[in-house]
Structure 1
Amino acid sequence: MLFQVEMTVKLPPSMPAEEAAAIKAREKEYAQELQRQGKWRHLWRVAGSYANVSIFDVRDNAELQELVAGLPLFPWMEIGVKPLCRHPSSIRDDDS
């Protein structure tokens, strides 16, 4: 199943820079591993904000919840999820 996931990160201003950097490093490692596995298909930064729009390709809602909840930045995120389905006019075979 494909899902569009919009994530906005809101770290507290009082968080020490070293702690924020460590969390961001773990986040990058986790996100890149999910991309290598094919579960996190696309990842785009939203220009001008600490946010992204992503496409996940997972078994079901439960797997998506598990993966997103595993993000090191999850406690400081606002997340929106939209399930996607193939458009009948698409010429791509891998977008279902």
Structure 2
Amino acid sequence: MLFHVRMDVTIPHDLPASEAAEIIAKEKAYSQALQSSGKWRHIWRIAGAYANYSVFDVKDNAELHEILSGLPLFKFMRIEVAPLLRHPSSIRDGDG
């Protein structure tokens, strides 16, 4: 199943810089491993915001929830999820 996910990050200003840097480094490694596995298909930064639009390709809602709640920055995120279906007018193969 494909899911469109928007993630907005708000790191508290009083979080020590070293702790924030450590969490961000863990987040990068976690997200890149998921990208390598094919589960995190696309990620785009939203200009002017600490936010992204992503596309996940996972088995079901439960797997997506497990992945998202495992993000090191999860506790600092507002997340919106929308399931995606292949459009009947699409000319691209392999998008479903």
Distance 1:82 1:51 in 2: 16
What is the CA-CA distance between 1:94 and the residue it aligns to?
1.4
Aligned residue number for residue 88 of structure 1: 88
Distance 1:78 1:63 in 2: 18
Distance 1:86 1:60 in 2: 16
Find runs of 4+ consecutive structure 1 residues off by over 2 angstroms: none
RMSD between aligned residues? 0.5
Distance 2:24 2:92 in 1: 33
Aligned residues: 96
Sequence identity percentage:
64
- In the superposition, the TM-score normalised over structure 2's length comes to 0.98
SS in 2 for 1:65: helix
SS in 2 for 1:15: coil
Q: Which 5+ residue runs of structure 1 have no aligned equivalent?
A: none
Aligned residue number for residue 78 of structure 2: 78
Distance 1:37 1:81 in 2: 20
Q: Which 5+ residue runs of structure 2 have no aligned equivalent?
A: none
